[in-house]
């Protein structure tokens, strides 16, 4: 259900407030067929439908598909909207998408507010929430499984790489010490380990950072993105646009380097004096620097503060 103010969060729903909607719609101006790889609450899809595009959307999360289909039912009935369950890292395995190409493709990474707010999904550090964090509940391996089975070095790598924590081994050691007495089960167990490792004064921003790190590992999010980027590029029509919104520095770095690589015309080794590859750029980067949400948007939607939008256009 849409419940938003037309001047502010026009595409918000009780499910999720979409980030940088105007910027996304502007990047896809004139697009007729858009693939939304991360349907979530359907805010971006709805704005793109309103701009005149037809939208095929996917999500790993069954609950997101069900709710967004309800919200966008009139568009589905008119044949302009189709929602499919699937992982964007395995897009070639979705039968309905076989052979289909698009003139715009969007990926708005991470999780939605609804997923975070639903305690039973276990993404949140609210007391008593089960440590689950699976976007696709058919998949095996919850956050608790990961925290109870990985060794200290593996945990340390997750907290360092996905949680940007230089003293990650402290937390890894603390988790292992605590789980040997009592297995990790609920959010409090991880919160207590964070406090134990870094002191009682750690608060919500540290909890959010480490919970995000565990979530990225549980859902293998960077691997899915790395696999997806070339697959999505191949699904673009000539002059089609790929836009990615990231909320984590590792994801943003991956997108930045990947689209830069696709935009190089010469791929000869850097020390070679003369070009022999006669390479041709696959396309061009549309965002020299990542776009960030406006101050007005960050004031209204704190989730948008860490958002970085990058876009790339495929060659003609
Ligand atoms: C930030 S939310 C998207 C919000 C959406 N743009 C909106 O306007 O409401 C991200 C969504 O992407 C989904 N998701 C994350 N990784 C995915 C993947 N590899 N494949 C498919 N869906 C994924 C999550 O389940 C979540 O619903």
Count structural domains, the chain: 2
In a domain, 1, yes or no: no
The sign of the CA dihedral 266, 268, 274, 276 is negative
What is the predicted pLDDT for the residue at 8?
A: 52
Domain finish residue from 158, 191, 218 = 218
List Cβ<8 Å contacts ≥24 apart for 283-286. 283/233, 283/259, 283/312, 283/313, 283/314, 283/315, 284/312, 284/313, 284/315, 285/259, 285/260, 285/310, 285/311, 285/312, 286/27, 286/241, 286/311, 286/312, 286/313
Whether residue 179 sits in one domain with residue 164: yes
Mutate to test the pocket of ligand 1, among 10, 25, 40 (most ligand atoms within 8 A of CB): 40
In a domain, 101, yes or no: yes
What is the domain-level CATH number for residue 213? Answer: 1.10.150.170
Check: CB of residue 257 under 8 Å from CB of residue 246. no
Whether residue 262 sits in one domain with residue 307: yes
Whether residue 213 sits in one domain with residue 225: no
Whether residue 212 sits in one domain with residue 188: yes
The answer, yes or no, to whether any atom of ligand 1 lies below 6 A from the CB of 9, is: no
If you take atom 5 of ligand 1, which residue's CA is the nearest one? 40
Nearest to 104 by CA among 314, 246, 247, 316: 314
The answer, yes or no, to whether any atom of ligand 1 lies below 6 A from the CB of 224, is: yes
Whether residue 57 sits in one domain with residue 40: yes
Can you tell me the distance from the alpha carbon of 163 to that of 254, in angstroms, rounded to the nearest whole number?
Answer: 16
Q: Classify 285 as helix, strand or coil.
A: strand
What is the predicted pLDDT for the residue at 6?
A: 46
Whether residue 236 sits in one domain with residue 172: no
Nearest to 91 by CA among 69, 43, 59: 59
What is the predicted pLDDT for the residue at 15?
A: 67
Can you tell me the distance from the alpha carbon of 41 to that of 258, in angstroms, rounded to the nearest whole number?
Answer: 28
Nearest to 161 by CA among 228, 224, 214: 214
The answer, yes or no, to whether any atom of ligand 1 lies below 6 A from the CB of 88, is: yes
The answer, yes or no, to whether any atom of ligand 1 lies below 6 A from the CB of 158, is: no
The domain containing residue 44 runs over which residues? 21-114+221-314
Can you tell me the distance from the alpha carbon of 283 to that of 314, in angstroms, rounded to the nearest whole number?
Answer: 4
Whether residue 228 sits in one domain with residue 205: no
In a domain, 134, yes or no: no
In a domain, 6, yes or no: no
CA of 316 to the centre of ligand 1 (A): 29
For residue 155, give both structure tokens.
């945990």
Whether residue 302 sits in one domain with residue 232: yes
Using the atom order of ligand 1, give the atom closest to the CA of residue 106: 6
What is the predicted pLDDT for the residue at 140?
A: 84
Nearest to 143 by CA among 181, 187, 111, 179: 187
pLDDT in tens, the chain (316 residues): 444 554 456 777 776 789 999 999 999 999 999 999 999 999 999 999 999 999 999 999 999 999 999 999 999 999 999 999 999 999 999 999 999 999 999 999 999 988 888 888 988 899 999 999 999 988 889 999 999 999 999 999 999 999 999 999 999 999 999 999 999 999 999 999 999 999 988 999 999 999 999 999 999 999 999 999 999 999 999 999 999 999 999 999 999 999 999 998 888 888 888 888 778 899 999 999 999 999 999 999 988 999 999 999 999 9
What is the domain-level CATH number for residue 298? Answer: 3.40.50.150
If you take atom 12 of ligand 1, which residue's CA is the nearest one? 38
Domain finish residue from 164, 186, 218 = 218
Whether residue 272 sits in one domain with residue 149: no
Whether residue 110 sits in one domain with residue 226: yes
Whether residue 230 sits in one domain with residue 100: yes
Give me the helix-helix angle, 221-234 and 249-262, nearest 10°.
30
If you take atom 24 of ligand 1, which residue's CA is the nearest one? 111
CA of 86 to the centre of ligand 1 (A): 10
CA of 272 to the centre of ligand 1 (A): 42
In a domain, 188, yes or no: yes
CA of 183 to the centre of ligand 1 (A): 30
CA of 136 to the centre of ligand 1 (A): 11
If you take atom 20 of ligand 1, which residue's CA is the nearest one? 87
Mutate to test the pocket of ligand 1, among 112, 123, 223, 229 (most ligand atoms within 8 A of CB): 112
Whether residue 275 sits in one domain with residue 250: yes
CA of 106 to the centre of ligand 1 (A): 10
Using the atom order of ligand 1, give the atom closest to the CA of residue 89: 19
Domain finish residue from 188, 218, 248 = 218
Can you tell me the distance from the alpha carbon of 150 to that of 147, in angstroms, rounded to the nearest whole number?
Answer: 6
In a domain, 180, yes or no: yes
CA of 173 to the centre of ligand 1 (A): 32
In a domain, 60, yes or no: yes
In a domain, 132, yes or no: no
What is the predicted pLDDT for the residue at 177?
A: 98
pTM metric for this prediction: 0.92
């Amino acid at each position: 259900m849409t419940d938003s103010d037309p001047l502010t969060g026009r595409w918000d729903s009780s499910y999720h407030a979409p980030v940088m909607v105007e910027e996304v719609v502007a990047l896809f101006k004139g697009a007729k067929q858009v693939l939304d790889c991360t349907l979530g609450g359907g805010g971006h899809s709805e704005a793109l439908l309103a701009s005149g595009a037809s939208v095929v959307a996917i999500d790993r999360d069954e609950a997101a598909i069900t709710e967004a289909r309800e919200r966008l039912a009139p568009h589905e009935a008119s044949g302009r909207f189709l929602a499919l369950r699937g992982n964007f890292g395995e897009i070639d395995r979705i039968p309905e998408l076989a052979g289909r190409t698009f003139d715009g493709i969007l990926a708005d990474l991470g999780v939605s507010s609804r997923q975070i707010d639903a305690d039973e999904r276990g993404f949140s550090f609210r007391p008593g929430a089960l440590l689950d964090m699976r976007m696709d509940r058919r998949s095996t391996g919850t956050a608790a499984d990961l925290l109870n089975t990985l060794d200290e070095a593996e945990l340390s790598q997750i907290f360092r790489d996905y949680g940007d924590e230089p003293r990650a081994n402290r937390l890894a050691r603390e988790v292992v010490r605590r789980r040997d007495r009592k297995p990790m089960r609920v959010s409090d167990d991880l919160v207590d380990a964070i406090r134990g490792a870094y002191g009682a004064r750690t608060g919500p921003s540290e909890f959010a950072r480490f919970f995000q790190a565990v979530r990225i590992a549980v859902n293998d999010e960077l691997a899915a993105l790395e696999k997806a980027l070339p697959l999505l590029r191949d699904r673009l029509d000539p002059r089609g646009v790929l836009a990615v919104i990231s909320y984590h520095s590792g994801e943003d770095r991956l997108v930045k380097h990947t689209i830069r690589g696709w935009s190089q015309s010469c791929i000869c080794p850097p020390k070679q004096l003369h070009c022999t590859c006669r390479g041709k750029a696959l396309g061009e980067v549309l965002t020299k620097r990542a776009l960030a949400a406006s101050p007005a948007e960050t004031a209204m939607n704190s989730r948008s503060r860490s958002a970085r939008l990058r876009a790339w256009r495929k060659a003609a």
